[in-house]
Amino acid sequence: MGFIQDISPIFKKWELEFLESYKESDGVYTFIFEKEKGLNWNAGQHGVFSIIHKKIQKPTRPFSIASAPEESTLKITMGISDQPSEFKKAMLELSPGMKISMRGPIGPLYLDDKSPSLLIAGGIGVTPFRSILKQIEIAKSEIRNPITLLYIDSNKSYIYKNELDEVAKNTSIIVNYLDSRDNLYQEIDRFTTMHKENGIYYIAGTKTMVDSVSVYLKGHDISKRNIKKDVFMGY
């Protein structure tokens, strides 16, 4: 897909009915919404969500869609601290039947299955990769090139771990859980040694994490065109 195709859905507005929420781990919550008829996305894309049940100063935030396109509901997951923003307070106030709006989905972070793929997730940055890997499992898609997920979380909370383990069990996808940057770079080196410039590298997480991993890859002769990034702001 080209740039225009990636960005044009931003002009489409959807209203999503809230179904339920639950705590994934300490300070991390998942929110489940009913899919409006006709809503679809490419696994790995994000939506631009807006609070509509009350007036707040900054009612709009982007979030990756964690659910696969073929799942029956739309799922987003976010970190919520003890002193949350107005937006996240409003999210916690949602009760079944209430609605939020969404524009999109947009974004180019979807898998190119023509090349070996290394997915690099930092903490909450695993959300788009959950969508990608779950979609492969559900669709029973043929995996023509190796796919590896490196999931780094210094707190070792690893949200979606049970689901990711099930995906790895049912497919040839490799999932590695890491808790230090040194271990992450060792695994990256292992992948680049095997696949050289043929690999495509997908990075999702905080700006600091995404920037540092991107710099590391470029310093190891990985071309900028082979690196796709999804920066999670506000963490």
Residue indicated by tokens 């008829």? 37
Q: What is the DSSP letter of 212?
A: H
Element (H, E) at 185: helix 181-195
Q: Rg for the chain (alpha carbons), in Å?
A: 17
What local confidence, expressed as pLDDT, does residue 142 receive? 82
* 2-6, 40-44, 45-49, 119-123: least confidently modelled range: 2-6
pTM for the structure as a whole = 0.91
Q: What is 135-151 written as a DSSP string?
A: HHHHHT----S-EEEEE
- Identical fold at 3-106 and 117-232? no
For the stretch 13-70, pLDDT in tens is 999 999 999 999 999 999 999 999 999 999 999 999 999 999 999 999 999 999 999 9
Burial readout 155-170 (b: 16 or more C-beta within 10 A, e: otherwise):
eeebbbbeebeebbee
Question: Do residues 136 and 171 touch, judged by C-beta distance below 8 A?
Answer: yes
Instruction: Indicate the domain borders of the chain.
Output: 3-106, 117-232
For the segment(s) 117-232, the CATH number from 2.10.50.10, 1.20.1440.230, 3.40.50.80, 1.10.630.10 is 3.40.50.80
Share of the chain above pLDDT 70, in %: 94
For the segment(s) 3-106, the CATH number from 2.70.98.10, 3.40.50.300, 3.30.565.10, 2.40.30.10 is 2.40.30.10
d(CA 185, CA 55): 44
